[in-house]
Amino acid sequence: MDTRFTTMFGLELPLAGFSRSPGVVAEVSAAGGLGVLAATPYVPDELDRHLTWIAERCDGAPFGVDLLVPPGPMTGVASGPLPVTHVDFVRELLAEHGIASPGLGQLGHGATTTTSLSADGVEALLDVTFAHRPALVANALGPAPARLIERAHAEDVPVAALIGSSTHARRQLDLGVDVLVAQGTEAGGHTGSIATMVLTPEIVDLAGDVPVLAAGGIADGRQLAASLALGAAGAWCGSVWLASEEDITPTTVKRRLLRAGSGDTVRSTARTGKPARQLRSAWHDAWESADAPPVLPMNQQLLLSKDAWALIEAAAEEGRDVDELTSFFVGQVVGRMTEIRPTRQIVHDMVAGCVEAIGGLGGRR
């Protein structure tokens, strides 16, 4: 399957696998796709260790790194205590589910968040990233800033940008990005409102020679074939790896993912301050209720959530029943997750299904 994307990166498969799990990234790359590690969950030392391990496992196969670089001039992370009303609201919510939360809002679980959102933190992640000679750097949220693109191009590293609309795509093309990832509303994590089926051909038509990957709603071979039919040069998959053996998501969360249906996600600002698709839980219901305080700006809501989630996951690990609160960033494809497979198997199943779907076109169905 040769596309402009596979040619650009010397890949066997038109498939990028985005994950925070080093094992997933290494396996996708080793299988002939392009594994892309989410850097922002990590502090620089961790990132360095993970990229070293991935490079060894890949044995020369290309891999990428996804960052989250703020678009504007760095103004630092909002510091100081979180608003009392919000901390109290979360404390009550947790208490309703049997979780005590003394010290909420000052738990210090925001270390990696602070790293990825502060000026010095991002520069340190970039230094580590480029030292490992990735095949690609990507920007996960909002426009890839000019200085990221300049630095990457100075080091001969192509840049991918995730976009959810034509307006964003045009801006990125003007800035000189090398790959566009057209991410539909069905995707997990931060995402826009336009569906992959509509967004992909729209972006392909304005991207000219720049390869476009389709993202959102792609977890099986038919969906990969559909992406190619829409004119994409490949697919960018994130959620599907959550049901892999190599994924590091806690078992308690994975169990909930395996039970969820495709209608059980919500695109909500309640976890990070910006619209992100995730498994709907009592957390989202509470923030949508009439007596909820307004969601905070990104940095603050993220810090508040991060503290809360550390407590929720700790309670789950202790075997307490906090299923109603449990959530994770995941796309609508969660409905098809019914078993945990090795990453390599997921890739193989997807490719075999894609070949079969393409072969079946023109035949009876």
Binding stretches for its own copies (CB under 8 A): 1-4, 7, 165-166, 184-186, 192-199, 201-202, 216-218, 220, 222-223, 225-233, 261-263, 331-333, 335-336, 357-358, 361-365
Residue placing its CB nearer to its own copies in the complex, 182 or 347: 182
User: Which amino acid is present at 289?
Assistant: S
In the complex, minimum distance from the CB of residue 217 to its own copies, in angstroms, rounded to a whole number: 3
Distance set, CA 67 to CA 139, 151, 210, 352 (Å): 5, 13, 20, 31
Residue placing its CB nearer to its own copies in the complex, 310 or 358: 358
Contact 188, 238 (CB under 8 A): yes
Q: Which pair of tokens denotes residue 354?
A: 């894609």
In the complex, minimum distance from the CB of residue 14 to its own copies, in angstroms, rounded to a whole number: 9
Contact 98, 320 (CB under 8 A): yes
User: Please, what's the b/e burial string for 133-150 (b: 16 or more CB within 10 A of its CB; e: otherwise)?
Assistant: ebbbbbbbbbbbbeebbe
In the complex, minimum distance from the CB of residue 322 to its own copies, in angstroms, rounded to a whole number: 25
In the complex, minimum distance from the CB of residue 191 to its own copies, in angstroms, rounded to a whole number: 11
Residue placing its CB nearer to its own copies in the complex, 176 or 353: 353
Angle formed by the axes of helices 298-317 and 251-259, to 10°? 100
Residue placing its CB nearer to its own copies in the complex, 51 or 333: 333
Residue placing its CB nearer to its own copies in the complex, 23 or 164: 164
Residue 110: how many other CB atoms lie within 10 Å: 21
| Rounded (5°) CA angle 235-238-239 | 120
In the complex, minimum distance from the CB of residue 195 to its own copies, in angstroms, rounded to a whole number: 4
Residue placing its CB nearer to its own copies in the complex, 25 or 218: 218
Q: For 208-226, give the secondary structure using H, E and C.
A: CCCCEEEECCCCCHHHHHH
In the complex, minimum distance from the CB of residue 203 to its own copies, in angstroms, rounded to a whole number: 10
CA distance 74 to 81: 20
Q: In sequence order, which ranges of 78-185 are alpha helices (DSSP H)?
A: 84-96, 111-117, 119-131, 146-154, 166-175
Look at the chain and count its residues: 365
In the complex, minimum distance from the CB of residue 357 to its own copies, in angstroms, rounded to a whole number: 5
